C-alpha cells in the first residue's frame, strides 16, 4: 500500500424523501487497501456505495476521487473514471454468455482500448477466475450462484477499476463458496493492486480479508480502525460477532 489516497468522503448525507439515510459520513481509502464497511441491515451501507457510484444524489457533503470532486456526478461518467460498483444480487446478463458479459464490462472503455488490450483483460480475468474460462460459452443465468458472483466481480474487473465497490459478494452462497469468493477479493488486491471498498455480511470473514474497517450505524460512522482492532473491540464483538471470535 502506497499511502496515496484514492477516495475521501467528507460529511456526506443522503435522504430518501423525508428519511435521512446517511448523516455526515466521512471516510478515506488509500491505494491498494481493502476497506470493510460494517453494519447491520438498514444501517446505510448500500446507500453509501450508491452515493459514491452516482446512483443516488447526496444532499450534503463531498466525494473526492483521485483528487476530483465527483459529488452528484452521473453514474456513467463515474464508471469512465474507473470507479466500479458491483451491486448486491449479482445483476449479470443471464441470457448472455459468460464471455459476452465480460466484454460488456469493458464497454465504457472500448473507444480507448484496442482489441488486443481487451483480449489481454479477458486473459487476465480467466487466470484469476479459471472456472469462467471453462464456462465462457455458457449462458450466465445457467451457472451456479457462486459462479454468477464470480462473473459479476470479473465483469467489474474488465473495467480496469482503480476503486472497486463490492456489495455483499457472498450473499446467499454456501460457506465454502463464500470463502472462495472473499479469497478472490484478496487476490485482486495482491495480484493486481486493486483497491476495494467491501460490504460483507460475514463480519469476521470481511475483517480477515480487509486492512481496515468502518462501522456504520443508523446512517453514521460510529467506529473505525484496523481489522485487528475491530475484531478485538468489545462493542464490535457484542454487536456483530457474538462468540465467533475467540
Q: Which domains does the chain have, with CATH numbers?
A: 1-82+161-174+189-246 (3.40.50.300), 91-160 (no CATH)
Binned at pLDDT 50, 70 and 90, residue 197 comes out as very high
* Cα–Cα dist 197/236, whole Å: 19
Distance of CA 160 to the CA centre of its chain: 13
* Cα–Cα dist 36/18, whole Å: 28
Find, among 98, 173, 99, 175, the residue nearest to 142 by Cα: 98
Distance of CA 18 to the CA centre of its chain: 28
For position 226, what pLDDT does the model report? Answer: 97
pLDDT at 88 over 90: no
Q: What is the dihedral sign for C-alpha 225, 229, 234, 238?
A: positive
Stretch 9-14: mean pLDDT, rounded? 98
Q: What is the pTM of this model?
A: 0.89
What percent of the chain has pLDDT above 90? Answer: 59
- Cβ within 8 Å of residue 104, ≥6 positions away: 93, 96, 155, 158
pLDDT digits (tens, 9 = 90+) for 112-151: 556 778 888 898 889 888 999 999 999 999 999 889 988 9
Amino acid at each position: 500500500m502506497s499511502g496515496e489516497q484514492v477516495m475521501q468522503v467528507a460529511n456526506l448525507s443522503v435522504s430518501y424523501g423525508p428519511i435521512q439515510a446517511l448523516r455526515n459520513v466521512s471516510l478515506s481509502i488509500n491505494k491498494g487497501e481493502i476497506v470493510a464497511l460494517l453494519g447491520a441491515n438498514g444501517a446505510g451501507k448500500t446507500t453509501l456505495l450508491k452515493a459514491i457510484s452516482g446512483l443516488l444524489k447526496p444532499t450534503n457533503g463531498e466525494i473526492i476521487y483521485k483528487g476530483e470532486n465527483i459529488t452528484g456526478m452521473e453514474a456513467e461518467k463515474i464508471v469512465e473514471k474507473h470507479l466500479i460498483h458491483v451491486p448486491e444480487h449479482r445483476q449479470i446478463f443471464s441470457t448472455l454468455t459468460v464471455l459476452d458479459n465480460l466484454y460488456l464490462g469493458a464497454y465504457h472503455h472500448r473507444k480507448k482500448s484496442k482489441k488486443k488490450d481487451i483480449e489481454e483483460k479477458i486473459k487476465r480475468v480467466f487466470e484469476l477466475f479459471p472456472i469462467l474460462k471453462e464456462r465462457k460459452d455458457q449462458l450466465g443465468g445457467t451457472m451456479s450462484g457462486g459462479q454468477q458472483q464470480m462473473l459479476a466481480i470479473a465483469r467489474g474487473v474488465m473495467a480496469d477499476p482503480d476503486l472497486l465497490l463490492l456489495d455483499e459478494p457472498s450473499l446467499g452462497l454456501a460457506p465454502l463458496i463464500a470463502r472462495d469468493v472473499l479469497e478472490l477479493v484478496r487476490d485482486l488486491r495482491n495480484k493486481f493492486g486493486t483497491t476495494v471498498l467491501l460490504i460483507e455480511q460475514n463480519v469476521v470473514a470481511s475483517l480477515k480479508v480487509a486492512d481496515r474497517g468502518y462501522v456504520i450505524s443508523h446512517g453514521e460512522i460510529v467506529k473505525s480502525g484496523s481489522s485487528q482492532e475491530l475484531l478485538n473491540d468489545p462493542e464490535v464483538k457484542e454487536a456483530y460477532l457474538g462468540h465467533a471470535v475467540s
